[in-house]
Amino acid sequence: MKELKEKIIALKKEKNAVILAHYYQEADIQDVADYVGDSLGLSQEATRVDADIILFAGVHFMAETAKILNPSKKVILPDLNAGCSLADSCPPDLFKKFTDAHPDHIVITYVNCSAEVKALTDIVCTSSNAVKIVESLPKDQKIIFAPDKNLGKYVMEQTGRDMVLWDGSCIVHEAFSFDKLLALYKEHPDAKIIAHPESETHILKTAQYVGSTAGMIEFVKKDPNHKFIVATEAGILHKMQQEVPDKILIPAPAKEDNTCACSECGYMKMNTLQKLYNCLLNESPEINVPQDIMEKALIPIERMLELSK
Ligand code: 13P
Ligand code: SF4
């Protein structure tokens, strides 16, 4: 493993490549990355990359977003099958019919969707800026929010706005068991529950903090509490624990019993260190987006970046 990590680091230098990784990647992958972050941070970082190659250790929509934001770079993804249940829940042709049926609505889409869906969007958002973006619009503005209904409901609750929601969800965040979470909290009444807004409403209502992956890490760093139950994909625990080595972090339990007693994203975990190495060596698989889609999708992503300043 150590040898493979060293080979990746050397190859990265040789090829003038940078590795951008999401917090849900396995620990070894995070360790060889140049930048590890949430969806917003990764998009912002992608615009700043000066190297020739961006090796994206994340899922397909993230690599696509990086390509749209920095099209002159070669963007490669270790496994093209690393998708996302949210992105899959929103096929562009059906989404077009949906937006056509609501012509007087502004379309806000969560970044977890395909480039084609972004091309049908007015403003993109992530979990760290969704509330701010909705609040930036006039109060009487009609809004479509897609594809995550759980994040959509959370934003509605936070802003007091009514929005038309697309019926999509994240299989990883819907896998948390409310009963097991309550039982765990009973065992650890001194813990604070923190949750990602892709989780279901009843989970979010029990949480003392709700936010993006980067927001959750910041919260455990700043909060004086010493114990946290963490309701998001378990990969986050690697960086989080590095930030707060003396605090106790307990992953929220999934409905199904599994070896990690947590919830893991099978798509994120398709990337392995070996696939990272092969991808860098072969400079493949490469992410390419048709020019017209790229141009249309860039507009709502840039609006998001502007509103996030
Ligand atoms: P953030 O890292 O932006 O919070 O998103 C979480 C997620 O599920 C990415 O797919
Ligand atoms: Fe998609 Fe959920 Fe995996 Fe994030 S955790 S990539 S939203 S399936």
Q: Could you please report the per-residue DSSP string of 285-300?
A: SBP---HHHHHHHHHH
- Taking residues 290-300, report their average pLDDT: 98
- How far is it, in rounded angstroms, from Cα 237 to Cα 297? 32
**269 pLDDT more than 80:** yes
Residue 200 in contact with ligand 1 by CB distance below 6 A: no
Report how many helices (DSSP H) and strands (DSSP E) the chain contains, helices first.
15, 12
The class (CATH top level) of 86-170+293-307 is alpha beta
User: Ligand 1 centre from 14 Cα, in Å?
Assistant: 31
pLDDT grade for 309, boundaries at 50, 70 and 90: confident
User: Ligand 2 centre from 164 Cα, in Å?
Assistant: 22
User: Ligand 1 centre from 3 Cα, in Å?
Assistant: 30
* pLDDT tens-digit readout, 95-150: 999 999 999 999 999 999 999 999 999 999 999 999 999 999 999 999 999 999 99
User: Ligand 2 centre from 233 Cα, in Å?
Assistant: 8
pLDDT grade for 258, boundaries at 50, 70 and 90: confident
Domain assignments of the chain as residue spans, ordered by start: 2-83+268-287, 86-170+293-307, 178-251
- How far is it, in rounded angstroms, from Cα 87 to Cα 114? 6
**8 pLDDT more than 80:** yes
- Taking residues 207-223, report their average pLDDT: 98
Ligand nearest to the CA of 22: 1
- Predicted local confidence at residue 261, as pLDDT: 85
| Domain 2-83+268-287 identical in fold to domain 86-170+293-307 | yes
- Which CATH code of 3.90.550.10, 3.30.390.10, 3.40.50.10800, 2.30.42.10 fits the domain covering 2-83+268-287? 3.40.50.10800
**1 pLDDT more than 80:** no
**43 pLDDT more than 90:** yes
Does 178-251 carry CATH code 3.40.50.10800? yes
- Predicted local confidence at residue 2, as pLDDT: 82
Q: Could you give phi then psi for residue 74, rounded to 5 degrees?
A: -85, 120
Looking at the CA of residue 267, tell me the nearest atom of ligand 2.
3
